[in-house]
Structure 1
Amino acid sequence: TARDVSNKLMEWFGEPLRGWDISRDAPYFGFEIPGHTGKFFYVWVDAPIGYMASLKNWCDRRRESFDNWWNDPGTEIYHFIGKDIVRFHCLFWPAMLRCGGFKGPDQVFVHGFLTVNGEKMSKSKGTFISARTYLDHLPPLYLRFYYACKLNGTTDDIDLNLDDFAGRVNSDLVGKITNLASRGAQMLHKNLEGRAGTMDDEGRALYAAACARSETIAGHYERRDFSQVMVAVRELAESANRYFDAHAPWALVKQDPEAARRVLTSLLNCFRVLAIYLKPILPGYTAQVEQLFGEAPYTWADTATPYENRTLNPYTYLATRVDPKQVLAMVEASRPATPAAAVPASAPAAPVKPEIDIDTFGRMDLRVARVVAAELVEGAEKLLRLQLDIGEVRPRQVFAGIRKAYDPAALVGRQVVMVANLAPRKMRFGVSEGMVLAAGNPDGGLFVVSPDAGALPGATVK
Structure 2
Amino acid sequence: MYYKKREILITSALPYANGPLHIGNILEHIQCDIWSRFHNLNGSLCIKVCGDDSHGTPIMLHANKIGVSPKNLIKKIYKEHLLDLAKFDIYYDNYYRTHSIENKVFICKVFKKLFRNNLIKKNVINQLFDTIENIFLPDRYIIGTCPKCFSENQYSDNCSICGACYDSLNVINPISVLSKEVPIKKKTIHYFFCLDKFYKILKFWHECKLHESVINKLKEWFIVGLKKWDISRDSPYFGFKIPNEDSKYFYVWMDAPIGYISIFNNLCMKNSNFIFSKYWKIKTNIELYHFIGKDIMYFHTLFWPSILHGINFKMPNNIFIHGFLIINNKKMSKSKGTFLTAAKFSKYLNSEYLRYYYASKLNNVLDDIDLNINDFVNKVNSDIIGKFVNILSRIIKFINTYFDNKLSKNILNFNKKIIVDFINQKYIINEYYENRQYCFVLKHIMFLCDKINFYINNQKPWILIKDNENFAFVQEICTTVINIFKILTFYIKPILPKISNNIELILNIYPLNYKNYAFLLLDHKINPYVHLVERLDENMIKNIMNI
Q: Same fold (TM over 0.5)?
A: yes
- Cα shift at 1:10: 4.2
Structure 2 residue aligned with 1:193:
404
Residues 31 and 158 (structure 1), Cα distance of their counterparts in 2 relative to 1, 3 Å cut: same
Structure 2 residue aligned with 1:69:
279
Q: 8 Å contact 2:373–2:538 — kept in the other structure? A: no
Alpha-carbon distance between aligned partners in 1 of 2:312 and 2:508, rounded to the nearest angstrom: 48
State the one-letter code of the partner of 2:431.
G
Structure 1 residue aligned with 2:501:
287
- Cα shift at 1:304: 2.5
Alpha-carbon distance between aligned partners in 1 of 2:367 and 2:521, rounded to the nearest angstrom: 40
- Cα shift at 1:178: 0.5
Q: Does 1:278 align with 2:278?
A: no
Deviations, residues 73-109 of structure 1 (Å, cap 9, x unaligned):
2322211111121111011101111111211211211
Structure 2 residue aligned with 1:152:
363
Identify which of 380, 391, 395 aligns with 1:180.
391
- Cα shift at 1:206: 2.7
State the one-letter code of the partner of 2:394.
R
Alpha-carbon distance between aligned partners in 2 of 1:312 and 1:330, rounded to the nearest angstrom: 38
Structure 2 residue aligned with 1:245:
457
Residues 12 and 301 (structure 1), Cα distance of their counterparts in 2 relative to 1, 3 Å cut: farther
Give the secondary-structure state (helix, strand or coil) at the position aligned to 1:268.
helix
- Cα shift at 1:186: 2.2
For 1:435-450, list aligned pairs within 5 A. none
Residues 57 and 331 (structure 1), Cα distance of their counterparts in 2 relative to 1, 3 Å cut: same
Q: Does 1:101 align with 2:315?
A: no
Deviations, residues 260-287 of structure 1 (Å, cap 9, x unaligned):
1111111111111111011111121211
Structure 1 residue aligned with 2:6:
none
Structure 1 residue aligned with 2:297:
86
TM-score with structure 2 setting the length:
0.59
State the one-letter code of the partner of 1:236.
L
State the one-letter code of the partner of 1:293.
L
Deviations, residues 362-382 of structure 1 (Å, cap 9, x unaligned):
xxxxxxxxxxxxxxxxxxxxx
Give the secondary-structure state (helix, strand or coil) at the position aligned to 2:233.
strand
Q: Does 1:128 align with 2:342?
A: no
State the one-letter code of the partner of 2:267.
W
- Cα shift at 1:141: 0.6
Q: Does 1:162 align with 2:405?
A: no
State the one-letter code of the partner of 2:493.
K
Detail structure 1 runs of 4+ shifted over 4 Å in the superposition: none
Alpha-carbon distance between aligned partners in 2 of 1:104 and 1:301, rounded to the nearest angstrom: 33
Between 137-146 and 193-202, the greater mean CA deviation after superposition: 193-202
- Cα shift at 1:52: 1.3
Q: Does 1:315 align with 2:533?
A: no
Structure 1 residue aligned with 2:15:
none
The runs of 5 or more residues in structure 2 that have no matched partner are: 1-209
Identify which of 266, 269, 284 aligns with 1:60.
269
Alpha-carbon distance between aligned partners in 2 of 1:172 and 1:211, rounded to the nearest angstrom: 21
Alpha-carbon distance between aligned partners in 1 of 2:411 and 2:298, rounded to the nearest angstrom: 54
Deviations, residues 167-189 of structure 1 (Å, cap 9, x unaligned):
11000011100111111222210
Q: Does 1:235 align with 2:444?
A: no
Q: 8 Å contact 2:364–2:437 — kept in the other structure? A: yes
Q: 8 Å contact 1:206–1:240 — kept in the other structure? A: no
Structure 1 residue aligned with 2:245:
36
Alpha-carbon distance between aligned partners in 1 of 2:280 and 2:218, rounded to the nearest angstrom: 25
Q: 8 Å contact 1:110–1:155 — kept in the other structure? A: yes
Q: 8 Å contact 1:112–1:158 — kept in the other structure? A: yes
Q: Percent identity?
A: 39
- Cα shift at 1:144: 0.3
Q: Does 1:111 align with 2:322?
A: yes
Alpha-carbon distance between aligned partners in 2 of 1:326 and 1:75, rounded to the nearest angstrom: 46
Larger RCO of the pair (alpha carbons < 8 Å, separation 6+) = 2
Between 65-74 and 23-32, the greater mean CA deviation after superposition: 65-74
Structure 1 residue aligned with 2:517:
303
State the one-letter code of the partner of 2:275.
S
Deviations, residues 233-265 of structure 1 (Å, cap 9, x unaligned):
000000000111111111112220111111111
Between 62-71 and 110-119, the greater mean CA deviation after superposition: 62-71
Structure 2 residue aligned with 1:216:
428
Between 241-250 and 1-10, the greater mean CA deviation after superposition: 1-10
State the one-letter code of the partner of 1:91.
L
State the one-letter code of the partner of 2:472.
E
State the one-letter code of the partner of 2:228.
G
